[in-house]
Amino acid sequence: MATLSPRIASELADLVYQIREANIAGDYRLFTGGMEVDNVFDFDLSRGPIHGVSGGFFGFFQKSSGFALVGEGKNAAFKNDHVIAVRGTRTAQDWLTNGNVGVSVGYNGSTVHAGFNDTFESMKPALERILTPRISNTGHGTVHCVGHSLGGALAGLAAEWVRIRYKKSVKLYTFGAPRVGLNGFAEKSTFGCEKIYRCTHGADPVPKVPLWPFTHAPNNGSEFRLDGGQGISKHAHGMGLDANPGYRNTAKSNGWKGLQKSSNNFLNQPVRLKYQDRYQASFSTLWADKIGAALITLLKDAGYYHIVLVQAGIGTTLTFYDLVARTLEEVAKASVRFAEQTAGLLGHMLVFAGKLTVDVVSLTYQFIKWVFDQTKNVLYRVVKQALKEL
């Protein structure tokens, strides 16, 4: 079974941005000059692209726009294959989808980001009308799902839907994608997809949201790190050739074996942070992951992890982190050890958020909630800036 090269996958993730709006004549046209993808897939836009709806809670600011392309393999290597390319965030309306962090049940029965799921559900009828006749006539081909940013999240949902709905082999390719669902979704996606190629830049903030309990697939934490960037930068999220570094620029390879594959092994290992070591933290993607792992470790050590995780499946992140703050207040009261572990976590969070002069002198619900708010706000601020750059 053929695999898209990093170059072709990144071209597809970038190409789909062209179909957001029709041209002045009301047509949709793709400009693929110089792209290798032109030799691999055919796209029929005679009926336009797949449309979807993005918007905030209760339908405010919802806007229908072109979200996806469906292509058919046209050379021997990709005979009977199809590609679904989904675009990322490009407007304020779409950002509201990203910020709509309630939860709902995805097609595979697992808990996912409600905003992403709603957008995919709005695309699904048109996607089904196009895919069903094509897939039923092409035997055992693979469906390649590709996307950047929000498009990567939607591609992840599409991959699970195609796998279950059509009983097809699926490969998933994402660039700078946010987390889609909770651990159940990540596990099913990891074992359901034939292969997942999750590509990131070292300083891209978007793959770090939504915060835990959302998690990435593959669930072993592995990813293809396409550059050597450190810290957190809004510029690291760009897709096109004009971006710096730009995923099109860093994914020019014709094969995956030569790319750096990294895995944050500490995500599956205990992380306990000491308060006196808090100044080792920095505003970086590495420490965003470490802080999340330390929170999980503390909740597991104190016996609250599964209780809190159940709550995550029935609320929003707003109510979830309110619960986490209240839980940590109780954890800190349980023993000196847990109080010290909680203080260590909060101290590192404060340094991550740039609050270097704030000391942890209280372990009350109000203070813990304030620290969580500061940490979330500083990360989401740069995520919003990154999305505005698209």
* Count of other CB atoms within 10 angstroms of residue 18: 18
Which pLDDT score, from 0 to 100, does residue 52 have?
A: 60
Are 280 and 180 in a shared domain? no
- Which DSSP category does 257 fall into? T
Is residue 311 one of the residues assigned to a domain?
A: yes
* Euclidean distance between CA atoms 22 and 29, whole angstroms: 8
- Computed over every residue of the chain, the mean pLDDT equals 87
CA 267 to chain centre: 16
Q: Which of 209, 230, 263 is the last residue in one of the domains?
A: 263
pLDDT bracket for residue 279 (50, 70, 90): very high
At residue 57, the pLDDT reads 42
Assign 114 a pLDDT band (cuts: 50, 70, 90): confident
pLDDT of residue 28: 64
Alpha helix segments (H runs only) across the chain: 6-15, 92-99, 114-136, 150-166, 183-192, 247-250, 285-302, 305-312, 317-334, 336-352, 365-388
pLDDT: is 293 or 22 the higher one?
293
140 within domain boundaries = yes
State the average pLDDT over residues 220-246. Answer: 93
Residue 390: inside a domain: no
Chain segment 284-340, per-residue pLDDT in tens: 999 999 999 999 999 999 999 998 888 877 766 667 888 899 999 999 999 999 999
For 25, the token pair is 């004549």
Would 362 be classed as within a structural domain? Answer: yes
Residue 55 confidence (pLDDT) above 60: no
- pLDDT for position 372: 94
Q: Is 340 exposed, middle or buried (0-12, 13-18, 19+ CB in 10 A)?
A: middle
- More confident of the two residues 66 and 215: 215
The residue with tokens 């000491």 is 274
Query: What is the pLDDT at residue 59?
Result: 43
Structure tokens at 87: 């675009």
Q: Is residue 351 part of a domain?
A: yes
Instruction: Indicate whether 255 pLDDT > 60.
Output: yes
Residue 355 lies in a domain: yes
Q: What mean pLDDT is predicted for residues 152-177?
A: 96
Q: What is the pLDDT of residue 213?
A: 86
**Does 210 share its domain with 135?**
yes
Helix (H, G, I), strand (E, B) or coil at 379: helix
Shared domain for 292 and 365, answered yes or no, is yes
Same domain, 259 and 274: no
CA–CA separation, 303 vs 247, rounded Å?
41
| Parent domain of 342 | 270-385
Structure tokens at 287: 């420490």
> What is the tally of structural domains in the chain?
2
The CATH number given to whatever domain includes residue 235 is 3.40.50.1820
Chain segment 343-387, per-residue pLDDT in tens: 999 999 999 999 999 999 999 999 999 999 999 989 988 998 888
- Whether residues 121 and 171 share a domain: the answer is yes
Predicted pLDDT at 339: 98
Task: Give φ, ψ of 50 to 5 degrees.
Answer: -75, 130
Q: What is the DSSP letter of 181?
A: B
Q: Is it true that the peptide bond before 218 is cis, omega within 30 degrees of 0? A: yes
Determine how many CB atoms are found less than 10 A away from the CB of residue 52: 26
Instruction: Name every residue whose Cβ is closer than 8 Å to that of residue 25 and which is 6 or more positions away in sequence.
Output: none
In a domain? residue 330: yes
Last residue of one domain, picked from the residues 219, 235, 263: 263
Composition of the chain by helix, strand, coil, percent to 5: 50, 15, 35
Q: Kind of pairing, strands 261-263 and 195-200?
A: unpaired
**Same-domain pairing of 229 and 253:** yes
Contact 256, 224 (CB under 8 A): yes
